[in-house]
A and B are shown apart, each in its own frame.
Chain A
Amino acid sequence: MIDEGLKSELQKQGVYVTTLEDLYNWGRANSVWPLTFGLACCAIEMMAASMARFDLARFGAEVFRPSPRQADLMIVAGTVTKKMAPLVVRIYNQMPEPKYVIAMGACAISGGPFKQGYNVLKGVDRYIPVDVAIPGCPPRPEALIHAIMTLQEKILAQKLTGPDRPRHLNADVASEFPVPAYGPHDLEPSKNDAVWHPPMIKR
């Protein structure tokens, strides 16, 4: 592994040194293909972000794929109802690794204005791991672009080897998440404890 100081010194002289890990992550980060998947009004902003005015193509993320088999990124754009939650988890399970999730808008984060509704899931992070959350109701396309850039930074920083390597390179970690079932009153289970860690208030 090359020393960071030597690397920047060499760069000043016009010699660029890189690692396979950096190259691999650089390629991954600049070709994040989202899933064509909108749940509510946030999807309208997602469409606007991919069109000419905001032009998500500048970040390599304009190729919205209609099949989960070809997508890297799930943008949960809108309210996840309890009827829709098992479908969301199942589609997420069908995406190939490495896969990422952006929770777009207040509804996807926590239920938003419909949080008190009996049929609304109070945040998609109860079932699937969320990488980036965008607040807003709905967030503007610039906010989605910022989320994609944040995700790119996250991808660029991922180590491919060692104990901290991401899930898709660790053979011991399962890639599928349990799909909740429709119960008489609520989804069963009502949350995935391996994924969801509610914030604890420390007194």
Chain B
Amino acid sequence: MQPTSSPYLVLLLLAVAAVGFAAMPLAAAWAWAHFFSPNKPGRDKNAIYECGLESKGDAWIHFRAEYYLYGIIFLVFDVETIFLLPFAVSFTTLPVGAFVAMVIFLLLLVEGLVWAWRKGFLNWK
């Protein structure tokens, strides 16, 4: 038998067959649903909620953005803890420049906390 013009032709054929194998049942299901089975929408069937209860109220409600601020303020303490531990472990061997840089970093974080405190974000309303 003569070798085919391209050695990759078999791969192409296989790919087409594989896609067809996957797409054929989907196409058959679609055709069945559109041409044979009657469409019967209804009030319950088109309802959004699926737990048997009827949904109450409007889905478009306002969420309070306060948690976002608390998350940001939490980050101050979180980042501080992560950097304070290696700072404390290697405190005795640190040069003066590193110590000054660390204190500036801590002051920046504390400044953010003081700002939030002054603004009154730490009061839970």
For residue A68, CB closer than 8 A to chain B, the reply is yes
Most chain B beta-carbon neighbours within 10 Å: one of A69, A88, A93, A174: A93
Closest chain B CB from A158 CB (angstroms): 13
Question: How far is it, in angstroms, between the C-alpha of A170 and the C-alpha of B40 when the chains are bound?
Answer: 10
Given contacts A67-B50, A68-B50, A69-B50, contact A90 B40 (CB under 8 A): no
Question: How far is it, in angstroms, between the C-alpha of A176 and the C-alpha of B41 when the chains are bound?
Answer: 9
CB <8 Å contact, B52 and A175: no
Chain B: CB-nearest residue to A91: B52
Given contacts A68-B50, A69-B50, A88-B52, contact A93 B40 (CB under 8 A): no
CB <8 Å contact, B52 and A87: yes
| A175 contact set on B, CB distance < 8 A | 40, 42, 45
Given contacts A97-B37, A169-B37, contact A176 B45 (CB under 8 A): yes
Binding site for A on B (CB under 8 A): 36-38, 40, 42-45, 47, 50-54
CB <8 Å contact, A171 and B50: no
8 residue pairs of the A-B complex, CB under 8 angstroms, read A87-B51, A87-B52, A87-B53, A91-B51, A168-B38, A169-B36, A169-B37, A171-B40
Question: How far is it, in angstroms, between the C-alpha of A97 and the C-alpha of B52 when the chains are bound?
Answer: 17
Chain A: CB-nearest residue to B40: A175
Closest chain B CB from A77 CB (angstroms): 15
Closest chain A CB from B43 CB (angstroms): 7
Q: Which 10 A-B pairs have the closest CB atoms?
A: A87-B52, A171-B38, A93-B44, A176-B42, A175-B40, A91-B52, A90-B52, A90-B44, A67-B50, A94-B45
| B53 contact set on A, CB distance < 8 A | 87, 90
Closest chain B CB from A162 CB (angstroms): 14
Question: How far is it, in angstroms, between the C-alpha of A88 and the C-alpha of B116 when the chains are bound?
Answer: 51
| B38 contact set on A, CB distance < 8 A | 168-171
Binding site for B on A (CB under 8 A): 67-69, 86-88, 90-91, 93-94, 96-97, 168-171, 174-176, 179
Closest chain B CB from A37 CB (angstroms): 9
Question: How far is it, in angstroms, between the C-alpha of A68 and the C-alpha of B52 when the chains are bound?
Answer: 10
| B52 contact set on A, CB distance < 8 A | 86-88, 90-91
CB <8 Å contact, A97 and B40: yes
| A96 contact set on B, CB distance < 8 A | 45
Given contacts A87-B52, A87-B53, A88-B52, contact A94 B40 (CB under 8 A): no
Closest chain B CB from A91 CB (angstroms): 5
Question: How far is it, in angstroms, between the C-alpha of A175 and the C-alpha of B93 when the chains are bound?
Answer: 79
Chain A: CB-nearest residue to B42: A176
Given contacts A67-B50, A68-B50, A91-B52, contact A176 B44 (CB under 8 A): yes
Question: How far is it, in angstroms, between the C-alpha of A87 and the C-alpha of B54 when the chains are bound?
Answer: 9
CB <8 Å contact, B42 and A174: yes
CB <8 Å contact, A94 and B43: no
Given contacts A69-B50, A90-B52, A94-B50, contact A168 B37 (CB under 8 A): yes
CB <8 Å contact, B42 and A93: yes
| A93 contact set on B, CB distance < 8 A | 42, 44-45
Chain B: CB-nearest residue to A68: B50
